[in-house]
Amino acid sequence: WQEHLAGIAVTQPIPEDSPDIYYIILDGFTRSDILASFYGLDNSWFTDALKERGFFVGEDSDANYTQTRTSLASSLNMMYLDEPALVAGSDKTFFFPFYYMIRHSYVEQTLRNLGYEMNSYRSEIGFLDFHDWEDYYQPGLIPGSFTRTFISTTAISPILNPLLYRWHRETITFTLDSMGKTDKGEGPEFIFAHILC
């Protein structure tokens, strides 16, 4: 993987009129046909609205990996995880290589070399919280993922569950409502939003 990352040869800035790139992960949101067959839910109004806006909707897509950490380690490095899996070995609880790949990704390094500004929205999963990027957007007065996880694993969680659900909803609506309304920088931007839905 390090050879893959070291192979980044792009160092010339790109023109300022280069397009912004949005990478939006609707984590846990399944395909329309699965929603229809298992839950009787027709969400064609949603996918049709996305298509009308120019989005590609994968009708028959399957995930290569079943966990967020492996899926994003793969996509943010534009590679399958055969070699990193060898580093992780047979211990299925050793996730460090995948977390490292996410924090030091090929996509981030390449886009930075091309002159992109990196922007991120708060994620409810700690290892996807890129708070050290140029712009980091988060809703106010909502505790981080560690605090919420702590609350949800204590005896007081049944009492505070409504609050946890409200914070979760406010995090999602903040991201969806504010995306595209943030201050535009000088050059092109990469916007990452992980929405746990």
List, for residues 47-62, the tens digit of each pLDDT value: 999 999 998 888 888 8
Give residue 16's pLDDT: 66
CA distance 139 to 145: 13
**Taking the model in full, what pTM does it have?**
0.83
* CB contact set of 139 (below 8 Å; sequence gap of 6+): 122, 170, 171, 174
Q: Return per-residue pLDDT of the chain as tens, 197 residues.
A: 555 555 555 556 677 678 999 999 989 888 899 999 999 999 999 999 999 999 888 888 888 888 999 999 999 999 999 888 887 777 777 888 899 999 999 999 999 998 899 999 999 888 999 999 999 999 988 888 788 888 888 888 888 888 889 999 999 999 999 987 877 777 899 999 999 98
Angle at the Cα of 59 (from 169 to 38), degrees rounded to 5? 60
Question: What backbone torsions phi and psi does residue 183 show, to the nearest 5 degrees?
Answer: -65, 130
Structure tokens at 157: 């969680």
Side chain identity, residue 62:
D
User: Cβ neighbours of residue 82 under 8 Å, at least 6 residues apart?
Assistant: none
CA-based nearest residue to 124, from 74, 178, 164, 71: 164
Give bridge partners of residue 22 from the DSSP assignment: 191
Q: Which of 100, 133, 131 is nearest to 5 (CA)?
A: 100
What tokens were used for 173? 């609506």
Nearest-angstrom CA–CA distance, 32 and 46: 9
State the Cα torsion 132-105-116-51 to the nearest 10°.
Answer: -110
